[in-house]
Amino acid sequence: MKSAISRHLHSSVAIALIGALAAFAFVPQLAAQAQQAANVAAPFNAWRAAWVRHADQGSLAGDFQVIELKTYAPGGPQVVVPKPGDLFVYVNTGGQDACGLARPDVFNLNAHSRVSVFNARTRELVGSQEMHDASGVLHASAVSPDGRFAYVPSDNGSSPVLFKVDALTLQPLKMLDVGGAIHHMQVWQDRYLLIDVYSPQESGSGEKHATFLLDPETDTVVGGIRAQGMGGYPYSAWADPAHEFIYFLMEPASDAVTSPEFQAGAIVGAVPFWVAKVDPKDWSVVAEYPYPGLRSNWIQFDANGSHMFVNGSADDSLSKIDIATGEMVWRAFTGAGPDGIELSADGTEVWIANRGANWKYHSGKTMTVVNAETGARIETVITEGSGINHIVLSPDGTEIWASAGDSGALIVVDALTRKNLARLPMPGFGDPHGVVFVAYDAEGNGRVVADQGDFHGGIDPRNGAPLR
């Protein structure tokens, strides 16, 4: 027995020593990667100092009108029956696939846009409903801050619409025209929906490129901004953690991938893309931040809002920008065509969805994880889905939920071990875009606690307030 114990101890010591040596050997590698990421920042910051403001001074507020195209009689059986403490996930899919090159429409059995609801804890499908009066693609999911209404876009290219849906019966209540095709939606200040719209066919004036705040109680716009005067076209909008300012991903043309400016940037290394910081009190541009990536898809802020992480979907990059100074802290590289970005609950890791965006439609299966402080790569996570686009940290901070558009599924990954936990198929092999968590308190009142715009309703695992 003594010799067996001795052998075991010797073996354990040997294993520990090997592990320590491996870890020691890995430290210089991480340091080298971090130094490489930091080195890229120096020439960019020198170039950034010569940046000339693009936007006009003063208020750029626009006028907006929402038109009710159709109203529906309320009713139908209650499909979603929440109990106190329940947590549901709402996700939308389109009637056509948004990325036809990677996923032919023949795979999608849905003729129309659809909203589906999953129990976030049991991961079971609770209910699902198609919107039968319009067909088309979509790029976003949204629920009103109080959890009463789901919003389901449908973009057919000529007459895009937005369905307002009862979140419990899943039946449509209104079909709305909000003035353009909806790109992204997220909760703002636990009261409104922040919505950005665009028209892919449009050229010239930028009339339909706009962002506004929609009041779900009245379905009216309480304020917004159009492209005119911004010095370029807004691609998508993002709220800072305090919901004080709105940050816009800006580009020099309505279709940057084919524009001369984009082609020049890709060839000679110019930096034609930037972030505009907007004050929604008067809809003025108060700051601009050029970034080195080519056409970002996403902005993620750190827990205190002092830095933002901006990807380059066309050059496979991720940059960390100091919001106070505009300086780039580091620039790292990701998988092909990054899309969604998320930050771990402890703030130490940045997760990036390698969708294969822009022209790189290879139906990406991976997420890159980098060190938030240094930009050094930590791991490449291979998921059980393809076309990973939107990624959202669960409100308890333990899981990454990803919409895998090309696989017709939601993918759940453990945020600590980085292991795949679940694959949730969408009805009719729909192409999901977005993940919205709705929680119910002890009195049975609902609230959105997380969506692509981060955390809401008093929940924030990065600042010591996870959902219990």
In a domain, 449, yes or no: yes
Bridge partners, residue 212, by sequence = 195, 224
- Give the pLDDT of residue 294: 82
Structure tokens that stand for 296 in this block? 């970002």
The identity of residue 323, as a single letter, is I
Q: What is the pLDDT of residues 279-311, one digit of tens each?
A: 999 999 999 999 988 889 999 999 999 999 999
Q: CA 270, CA 291: separation in Å to the nearest integer?
A: 11
Residue 424 is assigned to a structural domain of this protein: yes
pTM: 0.89
**Does residue 182 contact residue 132 with C-beta atoms inside 8 Å?**
no
The sign of the dihedral angle between the CA atoms of 23, 398, 239, 230 is: positive
Residue 371 located in a structural domain: yes
CA dihedral 97, 100, 103, 105 (to 10 degrees): 60
Asked whether the predicted pLDDT for residue 40 surpasses 90, the reply is no
Domain annotation covers residue 29:
no
Count of the separate structural domains present in the chain = 1
Given CA atoms 188, 192, 198, 204 in this order, what sign does their dihedral have? negative
Distance CA 225, CA 263 (A): 28
- The verdict on residue 34 lying in a domain is no
Structural domain span for residue 113: 51-463
CA 390 to CA 364: how far, in whole Å? 12
Q: Is residue 310 part of a domain?
A: yes
Indicate whether 32 belongs to any domain. no
In a domain, residue 254? The reply is yes
- CATH code for the domain in which residue 125 is found: 2.130.10.10
pLDDT in tens, 307-356: 999 998 888 899 999 999 999 999 998 988 899 999 999 999 999 999 88
Helix intervals (H) in 50-168: none
Please count the other Cβ atoms lying within 10 Å of the Cβ belonging to residue 59. 14
